[in-house]
Amino acid sequence: MKEKNQSLTKQLLKLPVIVAALGYLVDMYDLFLFSVVRVPSLKTLGVSDELLLPEGVFLLNMQLAGLLIGGVLWGIMGDKKGRLSVLFGSIILYSLSNMANGLVQTLPQYAVLRFIAGIGLAGELGAGITLVAELLPQKLRGYGAVIVSTMGVFGGVLAYFVADLFEWRVSYFVGGGLGLLLLLLRINVFESGLFLKLKQEKAQRGNILMIFGNFQRLKKYLLAIIVGVPLWFVVGVLITFSPEFGKAHGLTETIVAGKSVMLIFLGQSFGNVICGVLSQQLKSRKKAIGIFMILSFMMMLIYLLSPISSTFVFYIMIFFLGIFNGYWTLFIIMAAELFGTNIRATVATSIPNFVRGAAIPLTASFAALKPDFGVNNAALIIGAITVGISLLALFFLEETFSKDMNYVE
């Protein structure tokens, strides 16, 4: 038994798993660094207080638009050229653009570089998760997701502390430097055996038309995207604009967005472990995700509707929102398990980025409803609709826990 446990541990701690986990850390660091430094960076560039929210939404949407485009491009490359090509190419683009973010002098420059950084970031998580899912046996895939997600969410926590210690420009330089260090680690990473086997076959690889040209595949693809949208409603709306929600609750002390980001990811570090282990125990991806989705919605109601008398209580609620929002990486594992090896990187990279991109209509809807319904009620309307549709989509998705990964479409 002891030797068996040691063997399982050795498989879980393979270099590609560790590198994928560190890639997710860098991914999350940059993805939420802007949420942390939004206010100080925009003020430095001369944006007035009344324009901090709309200009912040614009820059966030530029980053998300980059993720959308990059998610498709890197996904196709991952299936055509290999998982490693994405891990190298995406981190180089991300690192250089992130360093350039620290040098911006105007709002248009900032917008363009957030867009480019978004393209670079888009390949990180999907390619890493695809590699992990194909390297690990079925009984360990959920635990692999736990390792990747636990390491990754600390990227959001790290973003807060770096931004708290240094000026916002330095925070971007640190992110770029972390990416270049990770690039060195990836030199010794080996390619997925399933992909190498696929290269010897004649099956089409990385053809996104295989998804859109087949009703059943398209249905799975769209349902998977819908399932993940509530995750980014919480992060993209409830947390990014937590200072505005604090004001709506009548708090006199200003809520610090950076601290909100740090706390939700600290919560997610616990939630991802619990959700991943729960999935293994229930032998089901769908049940674990469904349970967390319902608990997350209950926490949204408390966050938006309960009377809050202090910033301490507000921050505690954000921490618990993070715990129940901790099914992101398990969701991506499920997305990778839904499709064959020849389009797996395409879907595992594009699906999470389309989910992230869903924050664009979510934030736009929030901004449109806010004048008539108020901050809390506008968020409640959007959140209820989002969670309801996502639970319905989850119901119609197939269970993937025991699925063999060695097949093609």
DSSP for 61-95 reads: HHHHHHHHHHHHHHHHHHHHT-HHHHHHHHHHHHH
Closest C-alpha among 330, 101, 72 to residue 211: 72
Range 111-140 average pLDDT:
83
Asked if residue 380 is part of any domain, the answer here is yes
Range 183-191 average pLDDT:
73
Q: What are phi and psi of 137, to 5 degrees?
A: -65, 160
**Quick check: 330 pLDDT over 80?**
yes
Instruction: Give the per-residue pLDDT at 373.
Output: 92
Asked if residue 402 is part of any domain, the answer here is no
**Quick check: 182 pLDDT over 80?**
yes
Instruction: Give the per-residue pLDDT at 222.
Output: 95
Does residue 144 or residue 290 have the better pLDDT? 290
Asked if residue 6 is part of any domain, the answer here is no
Q: What is d(CA 142, CA 153) in angstroms, rounded to the nearest whole number?
A: 16
Answer yes or no: are the C-beta atoms of 331 and 397 closer than 8 Å: no
Answer yes or no: are the C-beta atoms of 308 and 186 closer than 8 Å: no
Amino acid at 78: G
Return the exposure string of 274-307: e unless at least 16 CB atoms fall within 10 Å of the residue's CB, then b.
bbbebbbeeebbbbbbbbbbebbbebbeebbeee
Instruction: Give the per-residue pLDDT at 288.
Output: 95
Amino acid at 230: P
Instruction: Give the per-residue pLDDT at 107.
Output: 92
pLDDT tens digits, 281-298: 899 999 999 999 999 999
Tokens representing 69 are 């485009």
Asked if residue 408 is part of any domain, the answer here is no
pLDDT tens digits, 86-95: 888 888 898 8
Q: What is d(CA 395, CA 386) in angstroms, rounded to the nearest whole number?
A: 14
Does residue 242 or residue 86 have the better pLDDT? 242
**Quick check: 102 pLDDT over 70?**
yes
**Quick check: 22 pLDDT over 80?**
yes
Closest C-alpha among 143, 228, 242, 181 to residue 29: 181
Asked if residue 390 is part of any domain, the answer here is yes
Q: What is d(CA 151, CA 177) in angstroms, rounded to the nearest whole number?
A: 18
Instruction: Give the per-residue pLDDT at 332.
Output: 83
Does residue 381 or residue 152 have the better pLDDT? 381
Range 72-76 average pLDDT:
87
The total number of structural domains in the chain stands at 1
Which long-range contacts link 217-220 to residues 24+ away (Cβ below 8 Å)?
217/339, 217/409, 219/396, 220/338, 220/339, 220/397, 220/398
pLDDT band for position 112 (50/70/90)?
very high
pLDDT tens digits, 192-239: 667 777 777 766 777 778 888 889 999 999 999 999 999 989 988 998
Q: What are phi and psi of 134, to 5 degrees?
A: -85, -25
- Ranking 17-21, 75-79, 338-342 by mean pLDDT, the lowest is 17-21
Size (the chain), residues? 409
Asked if residue 406 is part of any domain, the answer here is no
Cα-based distances in Å from 93 to 72, 153, 201, 382: 16, 21, 31, 34
Answer yes or no: are the C-beta atoms of 67 and 121 closer than 8 Å: yes
> What does DSSP assign to residue 188?
G
Range 157-170 average pLDDT:
88
Q: What is d(CA 307, CA 312) in angstroms, rounded to the nearest whole number?
A: 13
Show the domain range for 318.
13-188+195-396
CATH, residue 256: 1.20.1250.20
Asked if residue 176 is part of any domain, the answer here is yes
**Quick check: 132 pLDDT over 70?**
yes
How much is the mean pLDDT over the chain?
Answer: 85
Amino acid at 114: R
- Ranking 20-24, 181-185, 204-208 by mean pLDDT, the lowest is 204-208
Instruction: Give the per-residue pLDDT at 363.
Output: 85
**Quick check: 366 pLDDT over 70?**
yes
Amino acid at 223: L
**Quick check: 141 pLDDT over 90?**
no
Instruction: Give the per-residue pLDDT at 43.
Output: 92
- Say what the pTM is: 0.80
Asked if residue 214 is part of any domain, the answer here is yes
Does residue 96 or residue 147 have the better pLDDT? 96
